[in-house]
Amino acid sequence: MDNPLPLNDKIAKVDISRSATLPNCKVQCEFAGFGENDEYDTPITWMQWTELIVLPPTECEMQHNSWHRENEFCATDSFARTIPAK
């Protein structure tokens, strides 16, 4: 982000532990946030959300022919249901 997000009683920072434990694999998780979602770096002004399944590293490598760093995780959207949050 170019500018910090102003925090208030409805928006707060969430502290994420630096645990080496990966999220539960093969479980549907909900993710939400702002950002860019296309190759032209078009900013999104409304919150997006999706449900993803977190994959273990070996399955990510097999399904996506890709690897990720130890501080990242791999997730897939089986249903392609990414939609704006209301």
> Exposed/middle/buried for 6, CB within 10 Å: 0-12, 13-18, 19+?
exposed
Instruction: Quote the pLDDT of residue 51.
Output: 79
Percent composition of the chain: helix, strand, coil (DSSP 3-state, to 5) = 10, 25, 65
Q: The domain containing residue 67 runs over which residues?
A: 45-86
Instruction: Quote the pLDDT of residue 76.
Output: 77
Report residue 4 as tokens. 């910090």
Look at residue 10 and tell me if it is in a domain. Answer: no
Our count of domains for the chain comes to 1
Instruction: Quote the pLDDT of residue 86.
Output: 38
Q: How many CB atoms are located within 10 Å of the residue 1 CB?
A: 7
Look at residue 29 and tell me if it is in a domain. Answer: no
Q: What is the pLDDT along the chain (86 residues), one digit of tens a residue?
A: 566 667 777 766 666 666 666 655 666 777 777 766 666 666 667 777 777 888 877 887 887 777 777 777 787 776 655 554 43
Look at residue 75 and tell me if it is in a domain. Answer: yes
Q: Could you tell me the pTM of the whole model?
A: 0.48
Look at residue 50 and tell me if it is in a domain. Answer: yes
Look at residue 28 and tell me if it is in a domain. Answer: no
